Amino acid sequence: MPEEYGRIEHITSTSPKDHKQEICDFLMQYFCIRGSSTSIRSPLLYFTVDTLFENENKDHIFLIRNEKDGIIATVRYHWIGYFMGFMGFTENKKSSSSPVMYLVDGLCVHPNWRGKQLVEYLLTELHAFANKMDIPNAVFLEEGHSSLPLFPLPFYISKYVYRNLSNKSAIKHNPSTSILTLSQEKAFTWITIYLQLYPETIFIGHHHSKNVKWLLYRNRSHRILVGIQNTHQIFPETNETMGWITAWLEIGDISNEDRNQASLEITDDLSSDFDWIWMDRIWAGGDQKSDEWMEDGDFKWYNYQWESSKIIRNSYGILI
């Protein structure tokens, strides 16, 4: 990297609090997620020092600091747990019985410094660090049309749908439906059994997450375990919050019509937690989704330094 650009710094949970707060402020100001929808405002990425380093010493941030402009680029290497039910998983370097997984996120460049290959410099530094520390397995979520050289091919592509929970229409609930809130311990007991029954399911997560709520949907013979997380995004002026369904595990012969009904009943139950909710379009019933769900942009999950023979269909979970 040219010397005049600045220097790369590695920030951890033990770094001074004002350094970590500076990163939060930078991301709030310059990280803007732009969906394809024109009917919704762009939210702000709102991290606190605690949520930025949710997993303490397992989370890492690399940044470029310019002498004049301060922070001009960031990337986070965020621990998200393990590749559970790991049959079909292979690492580039060696096999492992419990592969540790990371998420590459918080990738942000100051507007005045875009187009100067800062992303490549940061990812090269991150690549060297991850392999040196023997934590090479990662995923990256692309929202929009950007691409990164280290993540050539996605392992899953779909579309988002979203719903305003503070202004929803009256939904007729099925009288056979019940929705239970599960503890983290009970949810992961359920997940462990599920992965034994359905070993081809992709599930990445860990039972120490501070940012997930578990709901179990029951309707006759149908069961759906749903994991809901805070996106750490808010809308300016109104401070409306955004939730995100990141895990959906089905049992039973569930049709798209069933998914549509389940998605509405489940998200109705979240109206006291979030103002808006995002999720995979397939979980809303695909082409049979309700008009309550509005179409948003594409998203792609990329794998980095690992491969799996598993294929995502209707059930999967990637907790962030």
Contact in structure between 296 and 231 (CB atoms under 8 Å): no
192 and 81, same domain (yes or no)? no
**Residue 196's pLDDT is what?**
92
From the list 317, 308, 302, 305, the residue with the least C-alpha distance to 140 is 302
Look at residues 124, 147, 170 and tell me which one is the last residue of a structural domain.
Answer: 147
Residue 281 lies in a domain: yes
| Residue 177 bridge partners (DSSP) | 219
23 and 129, same domain (yes or no)? yes
Q: What is the pTM of this model?
A: 0.91
Lowest mean pLDDT among 135-149, 198-212, 290-304: 135-149
Residue 135 lies in a domain: yes
Residue 196 lies in a domain: yes
109 and 17, same domain (yes or no)? yes
Number of independent structural domains in the chain: 2
Q: How many other C-beta atoms lie within 10 A of the C-beta of residue 148?
A: 15
Q: What is the arithmetic mean of pLDDT over 11-21?
A: 97
Confidence band of 262 (pLDDT split at 50, 70, 90): very high
107 and 24, same domain (yes or no)? yes
Range of the domain at 15: 3-147
Residue 237 lies in a domain: yes
115 and 237, same domain (yes or no)? no
Contact in structure between 315 and 201 (CB atoms under 8 Å): yes
More confident call, 36 vs 131:
131
Look at residues 147, 182, 203 and tell me which one is the last residue of a structural domain.
Answer: 147
Look at residues 117, 147, 177 and tell me which one is the last residue of a structural domain.
Answer: 147
**pLDDT above 50 for 38:** no
Confidence band of 97 (pLDDT split at 50, 70, 90): low
221 and 257, same domain (yes or no)? yes
Residue 96 lies in a domain: yes
**Residue 146's pLDDT is what?**
58
Residue 305 lies in a domain: no
Residue 61 lies in a domain: yes
- Please write the tens of the pLDDT for every residue from 150-200: 667 889 999 999 999 987 666 778 888 999 999 999 999 999 999 999 999
166 and 259, same domain (yes or no)? yes
120 and 171, same domain (yes or no)? no
**Residue 43's pLDDT is what?**
86
Q: What is the arithmetic mean of pLDDT over 249-268?
A: 96
**Residue 90's pLDDT is what?**
47
We report the CATH number of the domain holding residue 65 as: 3.40.630.30
93 and 171, same domain (yes or no)? no
**Residue 88's pLDDT is what?**
45
**pLDDT above 90 for 35:** no
55 and 176, same domain (yes or no)? no
**pLDDT above 90 for 12:** yes
249 and 188, same domain (yes or no)? yes
For tokens 């989704």, the residue is 289
107 and 139, same domain (yes or no)? yes
Q: For the chain, what is the mean pLDDT?
A: 90
Q: How many other C-beta atoms lie within 10 A of the C-beta of residue 235?
A: 17
3-state DSSP call for residue 308?
strand
**Residue 308's pLDDT is what?**
80
